[in-house]
Amino acid sequence: MAFLFMSHISLCILFLSFSYSQTSDSTPIFDGFLANGNFEQAPHPSNLQKKAIIGKYSLPKWRISGLVEYISGGPQQGGFYFAVPRGTHAVRLGNEASISQVVNVKVGSTYSLTFSATRTCAQDEVLRVSANGRSDDLPIQTLYSSDGGDTYAYAFKADYSQVNVVFHNPGIQEDPACGPLMDAIAIKEMVPLKYTKEHLVKNGGFEIGPHVFKNYSTGVLLLPKIHDIISPLPGWIIESLKPVKYVDSKHFQVPEGRAAIELIGGRETAIAQIVRTIPNKLYKLSFSVGDAKNGCHGSMMVEAFAGKETLKVKYESTGKGSFKSASFKFRATSARTRITFYSPFYHTKLNDYGHFCGPIVDDVKLLPVSH
């Protein structure tokens, strides 16, 4: 009885501690928005000069530098129209402007930032993301969705218990009235992956991935390794020039589980993983190919590579969400084998040619073949 009583008290304390962490001013570090990550807590009217925020601490929970504007979605002066899909308000970073926030994290853990970032002018725009002392310039001039809904993920490993997360506009465009528009920022702690003999491919169902906004999603763009050396998709390498898209089952059709990967950049998009194999042993690689029920249409193809073998899987999409299974065998030539998936064709939505899309890959499995 005493043990049960103490266990009950321990559970209550744990629940209260968790509840407090979600309601206090501390930044949630597991899976959710940064403090005022949707920018719905507005600056005090006395700290606004038209749209410009005056004072480095005037944007609640954030520190700002340079020209940062507090934007309401809709028509703007000068003929602009700023879409704010995930709420009512956003911030725009002028030339050399930045917003930053100190986040409490666990040393040694990997985190993924999910954020919306949209260019506001028809010029090259770059968003510099910094975390844990490392910075990367992310090109955002290409719009992958036509409604301002582009969402990106960026991963980092925590070396300290507090990390300063910074979003900065390095100001490469000439017009100071241009600059990235941001309307939501979240963070998620990534679950460590473990190798098992039953699952030679890690995270083969793509169940472990970045935060997905619950009330709005056009998918999350996962950047190529050249822009983010720590993958926001644990176990996988974004091995291409263009990003791939992480799609969830709440907003899209996926073959299995909660998520899948959409190859949106044609031959410029690929994902890969290096797996442990035994030389000269026979293996079977299986996976699913389909469309995300997002209006993506046409004759699709996914090419899979493993060892010295290749399989081309054709899929005719009507954009209504279906899939097919595929598999092939290969003989390992070394203790490490790279498996790769890519799509050789480019696709757009049937009724929206400004929205890039492509086939989805899911449920990747690799098993040894018994003789």
Answer for the pair 310, 344: CB distance below 8 angstroms, yes or no: no
159 and 235 in a single domain? The answer is no
Q: What residues pair up with 260 in beta bridges, in sequence order? A: 247
Query: In this predicted structure, what is the pLDDT of residue 228?
Result: 74
Residue 253 placed within a domain? yes
Residue 280 sits in a domain of what CATH number? 2.60.120.260
171 and 249 in a single domain? The answer is no
CA 310 to chain centre: 28
Residue 297 placed within a domain? yes
Give 152 or 197, the one with higher predicted confidence. 152
What is the rounded average pLDDT of the residues 324-336?
A: 96
Domain region containing 75: 27-189
Residue 15 placed within a domain? no
* Residues 152, 157, 158, 159, CA torsion sign: negative
- Concatenating the DSSP letter of every residue in 47-83 gives GEETTEE-STT-STT-EEES-EEEEESEE-GGG-EE-
* Residues 175, 38, 208, 357, CA torsion sign: negative
For 218, the 3-state DSSP assignment is coil
Residue 267 placed within a domain? yes
pTM value is 0.86
242 and 114 in a single domain? The answer is no
128 and 226 in a single domain? The answer is no
42 and 154 in a single domain? The answer is yes
273 and 322 in a single domain? The answer is yes
In the numeric block, which tokens belong to residue 331?
Answer: 């003989």
Query: In this predicted structure, what is the pLDDT of residue 215?
Result: 80
Please state, in angstroms and rounded to a whole number, the distance separating the CA atoms of residues 41 and 43.
7
pLDDT at 140 over 90: no
In the numeric block, which tokens belong to residue 268?
Answer: 């410029």
Helices (H) and strands (E) in the chain, counts: 1, 29
Residue 214 placed within a domain? no
163 and 271 in a single domain? The answer is no
N- to C-terminal Cα distance for the chain? 55
Find the range with the poorest average confidence among 3-12, 98-107, 171-180, 315-324: 3-12
Query: In this predicted structure, what is the pLDDT of residue 150?
Result: 86
Q: What residues pair up with 289 in beta bridges, in sequence order? A: 324, 361
350 and 224 in a single domain? The answer is yes
361 and 267 in a single domain? The answer is yes
44 and 142 in a single domain? The answer is yes
Domain count, the chain: 2
Residue 43 placed within a domain? yes
265 and 156 in a single domain? The answer is no
Query: In this predicted structure, what is the pLDDT of residue 73?
Result: 63
